Amino acid sequence: FGIIMLLSRQGFESEQIDDLKGLAKRSPWYAAVMAIFMFSLAGIPPTIGFYAKMSVLQALVSTNVPGLIGLAVVAVLLSLIAAYYYIRLVKVMYFDEPVESAPIVAGGDVRLLLSINGAAVLLFGLLPGGLMAACAQAIVQALAT
């Protein structure tokens, strides 16, 4: 949502997909960070979103509860539909002509925070072991109480 907030300005809210047109030409760094986030939401490796979806599907399939395999199939189908929309945003940012040509200007703190978030999405996707172990431990502790 940080990128969407950057695109909003006085008297103009960025609410349409068309507002993202040509973002890669206007501000390549913000387009790259937004693409990382979209790929993560779509569940494409090597992002943490892939491991999140894979973990949920693995848990559904590994149980012996009737009906959960069907639920996993539905989840995969819905993920495919959602991926279409996420990838469409990346297409709009990189392959459509920009409506506006002015570069996006933001403070260094905003750029730094978005960069840290994008790097974390990639880092945890490339090295998910530590995060997955911490999550598993948190679940065990939550269920023990």
Q: How many residues does the chain have?
A: 145
Range of the structural domain that residue 12 is part of: 2-144
**What pLDDT score was predicted for residue 19?**
80
**What pLDDT score was predicted for residue 9?**
62
Domain count of the chain? 1
Cα–Cα distance, 70 to 51 (Å, whole number): 20
Residue predicted with more confidence, 102 or 78: 78
pLDDT in tens, 42-98: 999 999 999 999 999 998 999 888 889 999 999 999 999 999 999 999 999 999 998
Please state the φ and ψ torsions of residue 9, each to the nearest 5 degrees.
Answer: -150, 180
Closest by CA position to 84, among listed 24, 113, 43, 48: 43
The pTM of this model reads: 0.83
pLDDT in tens, 12-51: 667 778 888 898 998 899 899 999 999 999 999 999 999 9
